[in-house]
Structure 1
């Protein structure tokens, strides 16, 4: 397999794996199942397998077709880094023993007049100055066959051992559930306040991938939410139900504070990006218009580029028209996916759920949000789809007031386009660096998205038969965020005293976000700029509220491992292949639990349960 074939295979896999998130199977779909006639005036909406297939088909291709015309703008002309896509290209280059890819300086970073003050761009120097070894394509440092074989063998060995370790622990925990609910803080805190430790190796792997600063922000949020606000709400009678209850318990109470933090942080961070995007749109309309009206049979570059006066046109794109996506395919694909998606949503949810004109507007919002999400992802490696979804809900609170179903569905449709376009653009960046055909990647994305429709619908149907969703095993806190915001926008009803703490939380998020913006836009030699990565992330802080402590603690361990490992590599002056190894290990840990959890699903469906419930505590253990 060549590196180009490898990146196309990876592109197809990402398109397949993106669907559960893009189609809302961990967000809006569970949220619709939580509707109640007493509170919302409608019965719960539980999608069967066929309805899930139709819904997935409605949102499966919109983001794929949106990504194609944006490639020329954000990758070729502006040279946005897309850190994860660049890291993927480098990992593939290491696995194939070829010279590491070269990173171009982002176009906006070449001119001070266009430097942004919103999301901070991750420029090429962020990689060039890192502790790992960098080489340039075309240099004489190509690995020898023996070195390449050693790297590949070492990588597969690390992946195999991590996969086996995580999978074995997951299978053992299925038969002995107490393993994943250890009351390290005592049985009282575990049973009443949900303070348990889950030594999931998948959680540890996720923490390694997320990094120490992010996991630290999550655990700070966990301490504030579960260590301070949850007892405060319970002991003062503001949340009289069980702590674990999302309706009248302190877990549901602190969710509102998390919602305020997430919304405030997202809006503050998005505002500079929106301002920059609209400035480019109205100041240089011909450049953006040419994205939709190319002169040739393939998507071509703008004739009047926004940075034309600042950056020389160096013709970095050497792709021929037969390797690019034909413009007629893109145009008809966007139009067709919107039209067909609008019809399918109407068929699945009916006229009372959401009106066709509202669905059409949600697709158009998704197109705008895709531009914002792609630019933010290219500059920062963060796709702010959570904030974009909340913005969509705010819009539909005005367009279809009082309709909770329409608010959730329209927000989900708009978010799906931004999620898919952003995630797939990372793969396009990796393909650009490795010389893969954009057209082949496009067809890989179409194939992966089509396959994922049936895989996702089938997997969700099987899991809902075996487990309650939301439930102890799969709490899906994002579903409650979607539903609670829709209810709030409908009638403004809040739990006792939560409004006051929401204001404090939002104010905190605004201050932290403004501090991050100042750190990103300040001089590179200032103390604030040097320590900007340690400024808490508002979104990660809020996630610490949404999930129980067991979710955050194991991830913190992974973050500490990642930080310690890279500090060690920095002191030892080790190479890039050594730096990548920890990501391979983390991937094995996540993959091992994911694969073996399917085995657990099959065992549960055929009636094979836990061997022993010894050690399980009430309300914190999933043992039946």
Structure 2
């Protein structure tokens, strides 16, 4: 019988030999980049589709690695673990551009401008203008990544739970020794070794070593033998339901609580498999927070604002209705949660800066802990030239697209500087908590620009978008660099993948957004783009200071409550308390306000499935990875088939029947 150490290969010599053997193989290959771009384009359409619907997009890093592994099994020579890292990095860079370039928030917000309220008419970018805008902010975060990587991954060794979980998945799929996820915590002159335990951990810590080994082998065999068929069947099931909902809109607008509540109060149910899949990926605690927010926002505050006369318009109206009224409470929750979450990061960064300037650190701390050779790292001259080039070219492109009346070039430069500073905070928050507070960081930039260019709503929105883009890209790419570090992949190969993915996604995102904008009203019934109202509402508030009746009272109360909750959550997370994940997330709670109940209910089903699966099926020896495969198929199925719906809509093919949609129940039906 094999010994435990032999089967796991945990001794340092075995690990080093395995890494050296793998690193001698080509990593930045045509096959890896091609598969990454293919997956990334699918994610790009999917994220744009769901982002315009709900304001929520998924990074899908772990899912990209898993799908890349399955696709590579069809090649004559399957991809190596390091090539899978390139696949994942390229896919994420391609797939997250709809958020980075503001296609789900910034651009729809500019289209909502009013000459009367904002002093400027709506701004609708042409395809070439959208390309120019995307180019202006697409590469800044990519060039920020290498220098930040050295500090947060190599020196501080932050956890980056999702990136670590992806590395664990890849090690399982390729029968590699488990990655070393121990953290070296520095505090003055001391070092403490702590084990990284994240929600994304693939192995069940309650199992003994032999059971863990068997579980790893079981999971790998399941994914190798059944993963492809699980992905295809779940994809087809979700796609078929999406097409059915296009021709029969009632399929996605079931008046579960009666037609009156569906018509007047927007309480309907969307049995979308992709929503269920997203709930599985989010996890039960997040979906629970989202539904608590939905109950408070739509079940309590919405009726209060309506019957008190504070929101006299139709419930779904974002200007005079209850949905627009509770939007302000949602904004207060998001801002307070983000600010409080950033305070420890700001404090620790400041203390670290003071210590480094006033204390001579020990020799061990002054050593370069970099494990990669120079030929595998991104040269510093590339970083410097890239940052300067992206800022200069980006400033010129923003000026060409929006002109002096939109935002002054010097103000755009300040936006890039703010983006760089806020990116550091966002990356550190992501590394420690697995949450990148980009929404809060964008709001901080908006607050600054209310002082720099007062009264200019366009400049306020654009500057916030520039800052958010840098923070979002740098954070998402840092998760991938963490995965690459644990699997010993080349940072330079990942950097190339990021550049190529971002470049292609500029064209894909701009084209897809232009097509959606021609076929649908954005924001509109089918694609309400809720985050666009968040951006515009804050910009208008900073311009004229007007709030809906009595909303400020509830904003202060909820902001105070969630400041306390965020503080308790930070304390629990840092103490690695088991109850930390059950403390409500302020951002997820606020998302429950932003979207109609149908968004949250279906995701709660997915969260419940995830919880039951991991407490009953996986705990008794089932395969965790199989659930990830099925959830990925659900999400991609609707996102990809939505392209078919877009083509049908463009060519004038309408619904087959509006049966059951009487009274305006269905958003996608003209009846």
TM-score normalised per structure 2: 0.83
The answer to whether residue 438 in structure 2 is matched with residue 385 in structure 1 is yes
| Aligned counterpart for 2:301 among listed residues 229, 246, 261 | 229
Quick check: 1:107–1:311 contact (8 Å CA) kept in 2?
A: no
The answer to whether residue 461 in structure 2 is matched with residue 416 in structure 1 is no
- Sort the Cα spacing of 1:129 and 1:194 in 2 relative to 1 into closer, same or farther, 3 A: closer
Quick check: 2:182–2:195 contact (8 Å CA) kept in 1?
A: no
The answer to whether residue 554 in structure 2 is matched with residue 501 in structure 1 is yes
Q: Distance in 1 between matches of 2:434 and 2:136?
A: 27
Q: Distance in 2 between matches of 1:113 and 1:104?
A: 12
Report 1:470-485 matches (<5 A): 470-485=523-538
1:108 Cα shift? 4.2
Report 1:30-41 matches (<5 A): 30-41=108-119
Quick check: 1:365–1:414 contact (8 Å CA) kept in 2?
A: yes
Secondary structure of the equivalent of 1:530? Answer: coil
- Sort the Cα spacing of 1:408 and 1:495 in 2 relative to 1 into closer, same or farther, 3 A: same
Q: Distance in 1 between matches of 2:378 and 2:498?
A: 12
| Aligned counterpart for 1:364 among listed residues 417, 436, 446 | 417
What is residue 68 of structure 2 aligned with on the other side? none
Secondary structure of the equivalent of 1:35? Answer: coil
1:494 Cα shift? 0.8
Quick check: 1:67–1:425 contact (8 Å CA) kept in 2?
A: yes
The answer to whether residue 669 in structure 2 is matched with residue 623 in structure 1 is yes
Quick check: 1:377–1:383 contact (8 Å CA) kept in 2?
A: yes
What is residue 289 of structure 2 aligned with on the other side? 217
Q: Distance in 2 between matches of 1:56 and 1:43?
A: 22
Q: Distance in 2 between matches of 1:404 and 1:501?
A: 25
| Aligned counterpart for 1:131 among listed residues 204, 208, 211 | 204
Secondary structure of the equivalent of 1:107? Answer: strand
What is residue 376 of structure 2 aligned with on the other side? 323
1:131 Cα shift? 1.9
- Sort the Cα spacing of 1:611 and 1:285 in 2 relative to 1 into closer, same or farther, 3 A: farther
Q: Distance in 1 between matches of 2:618 and 2:220?
A: 23
What is residue 291 of structure 1 aligned with on the other side? none
- Sort the Cα spacing of 1:166 and 1:269 in 2 relative to 1 into closer, same or farther, 3 A: same
1:142 Cα shift? 12
| Aligned counterpart for 1:595 among listed residues 628, 640, 650 | 640
Secondary structure of the equivalent of 1:284? Answer: helix
1:282 Cα shift? 3.6
1:272 Cα shift? 1.6
- Sort the Cα spacing of 1:192 and 1:427 in 2 relative to 1 into closer, same or farther, 3 A: same
1:178 Cα shift? 0.3
Q: Distance in 2 between matches of 1:135 and 1:58?
A: 52
Secondary structure of the equivalent of 1:105? Answer: strand
1:128-176 deviation digits (Å, cap 9, x = unpaired) = 796268999xx999988x9956531222122122111111111111111
1:104 Cα shift? 2.5
The answer to whether residue 441 in structure 2 is matched with residue 396 in structure 1 is no
The answer to whether residue 350 in structure 2 is matched with residue 278 in structure 1 is yes
Secondary structure of the equivalent of 2:270? Answer: coil
Report 1:545-624 matches (<5 A): 545-569=593-617, 571-572=619-620, 574=621, 578-621=623-666, 622-624=668-670
Quick check: 2:310–2:550 contact (8 Å CA) kept in 1?
A: yes
What is residue 541 of structure 1 aligned with on the other side? 589
1:259-290 deviation digits (Å, cap 9, x = unpaired) = 11111111111112112112223432599xxx
What is residue 19 of structure 2 aligned with on the other side? none
Report 1:510-549 matches (<5 A): 510-521=563-574, 529-549=577-597
1:296-339 deviation digits (Å, cap 9, x = unpaired) = xxxxxxxx8xxx54976786533111111011000110111111
Q: Distance in 1 between matches of 2:222 and 2:202?
A: 26
Q: Distance in 1 between matches of 2:189 and 2:662?
A: 60
What is residue 179 of structure 2 aligned with on the other side? 101
What is residue 344 of structure 1 aligned with on the other side? 397
| Aligned counterpart for 2:328 among listed residues 247, 256, 261 | 256
1:75 Cα shift? 1.1
Q: Distance in 2 between matches of 1:449 and 1:571?
A: 39
What is residue 260 of structure 2 aligned with on the other side? 188
| Aligned counterpart for 1:203 among listed residues 275, 282, 305 | 275
Q: Distance in 2 between matches of 1:64 and 1:203?
A: 30
After TM superposition, the structure 1 stretch with the greater mean CA deviation from structure 2, 513-522 or 551-560, is: 513-522
- Sort the Cα spacing of 1:553 and 1:124 in 2 relative to 1 into closer, same or farther, 3 A: closer
Quick check: 1:166–1:593 contact (8 Å CA) kept in 2?
A: yes
What is residue 49 of structure 1 aligned with on the other side? 127
Q: Distance in 2 between matches of 1:110 and 1:342?
A: 41
The answer to whether residue 506 in structure 2 is matched with residue 453 in structure 1 is yes
The answer to whether residue 483 in structure 2 is matched with residue 405 in structure 1 is no
| Aligned counterpart for 1:491 among listed residues 537, 544, 547 | 544
1:340-393 deviation digits (Å, cap 9, x = unpaired) = 111111111010111111110110011111111111111111101011011111
Quick check: 2:184–2:191 contact (8 Å CA) kept in 1?
A: no
Quick check: 2:172–2:178 contact (8 Å CA) kept in 1?
A: yes
Quick check: 2:185–2:192 contact (8 Å CA) kept in 1?
A: no
- Sort the Cα spacing of 1:385 and 1:122 in 2 relative to 1 into closer, same or farther, 3 A: farther
What is residue 465 of structure 1 aligned with on the other side? 518
Quick check: 1:111–1:310 contact (8 Å CA) kept in 2?
A: no
Q: Distance in 1 between matches of 2:491 and 2:569?
A: 35
Q: Distance in 2 between matches of 1:131 and 1:414?
A: 39
The answer to whether residue 152 in structure 2 is matched with residue 74 in structure 1 is yes
After TM superposition, the structure 1 stretch with the greater mean CA deviation from structure 2, 95-104 or 432-441, is: 95-104
Quick check: 1:132–1:570 contact (8 Å CA) kept in 2?
A: no
1:513 Cα shift? 1.3
- Sort the Cα spacing of 1:606 and 1:6 in 2 relative to 1 into closer, same or farther, 3 A: same
- Sort the Cα spacing of 1:467 and 1:517 in 2 relative to 1 into closer, same or farther, 3 A: same
What is residue 102 of structure 2 aligned with on the other side? 24
After TM superposition, the structure 1 stretch with the greater mean CA deviation from structure 2, 425-434 or 345-354, is: 425-434
Quick check: 2:185–2:191 contact (8 Å CA) kept in 1?
A: no
Quick check: 1:135–1:141 contact (8 Å CA) kept in 2?
A: no
TM-score normalised per structure 1: 0.89
Quick check: 1:65–1:330 contact (8 Å CA) kept in 2?
A: yes
1:123 Cα shift? 2.8
The answer to whether residue 316 in structure 2 is matched with residue 244 in structure 1 is yes
